[in-house]
Amino acid sequence: DAGVIQSPRHEVTEMGQEVTLRCKPISGHDYLFWYRQTMMRGLELLIYFNNNVPIDDSGMPEDRFSAKMPNASFSTLKIQPSEPRDSAVYFCASSSHRVMNYNEQFFGPGTRLTVL
Amino acid sequence: GDSVTQMEGPVTLSEEACLTINCTYTATGYPSLFWYVQYPGEGLQLLLKATKADDKGSNKGFEATYRKETTSFHLEKGSVQVSDSAVYFCALSDRNNNNDMRFGAGTRLTVKP
């Protein structure tokens, strides 16, 4: 398996623009997570899905952030409009609750977002 | 709620020195415990895990023992290498809590030749 795939790997945009980050989880995994990592705040869970349904979005910072999972193999995290304080590395992770009796998460390589 | 507290960094060691990164946890249930490692420019990777009390996780010369009596899961390595330079995250997951995983703040390790 190719692991969790994220695109783009790097994104530079200007304040006010819409940004869409993409994630393809590991095939067969039923949980998908979006995290944000910054020097100041560390690793923060934004939202997670189970079987394509959002379960907990309490970590989503503002209404400017939205996430969707239209099917088991694809998810997006959208920021509209983007602001400089959104600059961070965004990670997607997936796991399988059915296969394992512990909840190891597999992380993608991340998208480094810079908002100018 | 469940949480993890780990030793603040950064930690700088010389090659072949001994490493200990402390991690303690608070949980209401029976969590599984993990150490993840993040190399520069990459995502987090699972380093080792333990699913019940007294279990010892080990990988790449690293070890950690699940101590329920002290609610700890300290990461240890007897002889570090330059290639071990990375950020290390302690984490817990309560399998009864919707797969929610809680990460510590991370500890940056730099190993000098």
Q: Tell me the pairing of strands A31-38 and B11-14.
A: unpaired
pLDDT digits (tens, 9 = 90+) for A43-62: 899 999 999 999 989 999 88
Assess contact for B45 and B33: CB atoms under 8 A.
no
Residue A100 has pLDDT above 60, yes or no: no
Best residue of A26, A30, A48, A102 to probe chain B, by most B CBs closer than 10 Å: A102
Q: Could you tell me the pLDDT band of residue B28, with boundaries at 50, 70 and 90?
A: confident
Q: Tell me the pairing of strands B11-14 and A111-115.
A: unpaired
Q: Out of A37-41, A89-93, B28-32, B83-87, which region has the weakest mean confidence (pLDDT)?
A: B28-32
Question: What span, in angstroms and rounded, lies between the C-alpha atoms of B79 and B62?
Answer: 9
CA distance A14 to chain B (A): 23
Question: What span, in angstroms and rounded, lies between the C-alpha atoms of B87 and A56?
Answer: 27
Residue ranges with strand state E in A8-58: 10-13, 19-24, 31-38, 42-50, 53-56
Q: What is the pLDDT of residue B58?
A: 97
Across the interface, whether the CB atoms of A50 and B99 are under 8 A apart is answered: yes
Q: What is the pLDDT of residue B84?
A: 97
Check residues A116 and B1 and name the one with the higher pLDDT: A116
Task: Name the DSSP class of A61.
Answer: -
The beta-carbon neighbor of A42 closest among B49, B100, B106 is B106
As a dihedral over the C-alpha atoms of residue A64, residue A52, residue A12, residue B89, rounded to 10 degrees, the angle is 100
Q: Residue range B69-80: average pLDDT?
A: 97
Q: What is the pLDDT of residue A5?
A: 96
User: Sign of torsion, CA A95 B38 A38 A108?
Assistant: negative
Q: What is the pLDDT of residue B79?
A: 96
